[in-house]
Structure 1
């Protein structure tokens, strides 16, 4: 974008490689201000400090004065994240100023009352999450991933009422598939009137624990029987099955056995998926059934690997997580609906800006 009166220009670019920024340098008119936004992406998906240093070296060349670089990022939950090591290095530089801001640092009229109310709603239901998302505080990671789960709040120990059943506009299923490991099907009902997802039922089979491994065609038959049970009880077949894309053989068998259902490859971004499930649980937008016995067993022990937390790249422990994967696949699959039921917080997936 060029301001014609004086020729000043603003350039916008991504940075898949260092060559992306080299191409916009004008040797006759050195760039005086460079802004890097979403800085955590450089550390999580790029080359981190090396990449940032290359960009700085590219633009500072030929600038004798009045040159400035600004870096913006939402602080990760984990205080051991790589970006914080870089921040500590930068703070030692005499030419660096580190400023932390949150939504309270700007006039309320800029934000609007709805956004303020959203922040207060989150503070009410989960102050820890509020401190991270709205205040940008690195709160650290609980060892238990879904620490906000409360059996008394999130589990219905009764059958659904007629209003709850009649308000379900779509039923979906999600699947995590294992050969010797467990295979699980979870069934869910979306009720837009009550702005709630209801867990409906569950199928779980472990070849290792039972001593009998099922073939993909046998699992497809079991899934079909579960779908017929759902249809009889709730008046409709599941519409979609969100399944790990690597389970192609099972997906093909289910497609043949259940022509009424659409196979959807699950979005398998674990970090983002966990964040979204946490929000759905925190605001009680997903309620579970006592029929989902294995899911309820897993959700209270699903935890991060301690060593991964210390290294700054948190990863859940890959044990007893089959139902947790199926839950995440489903929430990711229908997120466009779930986020409508939340206070206006999804606009910011992370914390506030530094």
Structure 2
């Protein structure tokens, strides 16, 4: 493909990087940026071209969790091959998930890092794996996990390309943010934003949404759209994954938990519905109700209208009559046990889990978990203790998962 043709489908902000890639100026490429920055699009366009220019090589594209691949990176690479005008030359398979270049048999393979043995056992029919792409780098456990994978893939060849793309986590202390600041001669770090992308590629509505967030919540805008780590280092929840949760994912959720923190005014009534993946220690928020001046009858009817009587609702035990009202309505409600030390343990338990939040599904949970910070003294130094404010859905989440915490050793 000519450089002119490539420049018509790749974002202008990536032209220099693309030249460096094809000249093999570096081995490692770190691409960070906010929404609409085109970083993942760039990598998906480059990888097929690298393989075509280097017969005998293959690529592996990785995400932390395998069941997120088909609707994300796999779909992204299908798009890229179409944009390159090469769809007729590639076969797309889903079992296993891979793209095969018909003229040579070279492969782009897609794998989840949640099963390390499958990565170690990857075999190619000829040649070697020259290209790796870690999509959503921050979802991986750390540099050690990525290094272990590369030790399995970077073998038997003379030239390698490793791409790591991600939206910077909100806290500047997150390992992915700190990792990108470390200088190494064989790595090129590239940061981009939607402001560098052609507006017609993003669409008018995308720009409208970005500008609205900028006007209403500049901090969130800087994080989500500009890719800035705006966290102060005092964030209670560092392990947040802020992304879309697809309907396909939700359809596979089989461990549903629900919690309620009673409120009226000014404190709101707060209900959360979530899935907890025990194997991966990951919480996914599915839905919420967050409203002032809701009677028990009104909030109960909202829950019933959503069809959420399929899982226990663990409620704040400060109002046992309210839980009884729910049971009278046919909702499987019960009071939280709580007890001495339960708040501290519950918070620490949540901090050790990954929490996936889709702002469109649970906007108030997003606001609470993203902005919740440790208390500080008059000198601005972080002190122990969790502020008892702006944490209603955080409390509801603790209640929802209380029995899991207790099973794993929480104080009753």
Structure-1-length-normalised TM-score: 0.51
Structure (1/2) with the larger strand percentage: 2
| Structure 2 CA distance for partners of 1:264 and 1:118, relative to 1, 3 Å | farther
Contact 2:130/2:161 (8 A) holds in 1: yes
| Structure 2 CA distance for partners of 1:39 and 1:317, relative to 1, 3 Å | farther
Contact 1:273/1:329 (8 A) holds in 2: no
Cα distance in structure 1, aligned partners of 2:233 and 2:179: 24
Provide the residue aligned with 1:6 in structure 2.
104
Provide the residue aligned with 1:56 in structure 2.
150
CA offset digits 1:230-267 (Å, max 9, x no partner): 46xx99576358844999xx8xx74994243355999x
Provide the residue aligned with 1:87 in structure 2.
180
| Structure 2 CA distance for partners of 1:237 and 1:57, relative to 1, 3 Å | closer
Q: Say what the alpha-carbon RMSD is for the aligned residues.
A: 5.0
Q: Secondary structure at the match of 1:21?
A: helix
Cα distance in structure 2, aligned partners of 1:118 and 1:274: 15
Provide the residue aligned with 1:220 in structure 2.
none
Contact 2:259/2:313 (8 A) holds in 1: yes
Stretches of structure 1 that go unaligned for 5 or more consecutive residues are 146-172, 178-183, 189-195, 202-225, 284-297, 308-313, 333-354
Instruction: State whether structure 2 residue 318 is matched by structure 1 residue 258.
Output: no
Provide the residue aligned with 1:129 in structure 2.
220
Cα distance in structure 2, aligned partners of 1:265 and 1:70: 49
Provide the residue aligned with 1:111 in structure 2.
202
Structure-2-length-normalised TM-score: 0.45
Of 179, 188, 201, which aligns to 1:97? 188
Stretches of structure 2 that go unaligned for 5 or more consecutive residues are 1-98, 237-257, 272-288, 337-349, 401-412
Number of aligned residue pairs: 232
Provide the residue aligned with 1:294 in structure 2.
none
| Structure 2 CA distance for partners of 1:277 and 1:18, relative to 1, 3 Å | closer
| Structure 2 CA distance for partners of 1:143 and 1:41, relative to 1, 3 Å | closer
Provide the residue aligned with 1:175 in structure 2.
260
Cα distance in structure 1, aligned partners of 2:143 and 2:191: 20
1:204-283 equivalence runs, <5 A: 227=296, 230=297, 239=304, 243-244=313-314, 254=324, 257-261=327-331, 271-272=355-356, 279-280=363-364
Cα distance in structure 1, aligned partners of 2:195 and 2:156: 39
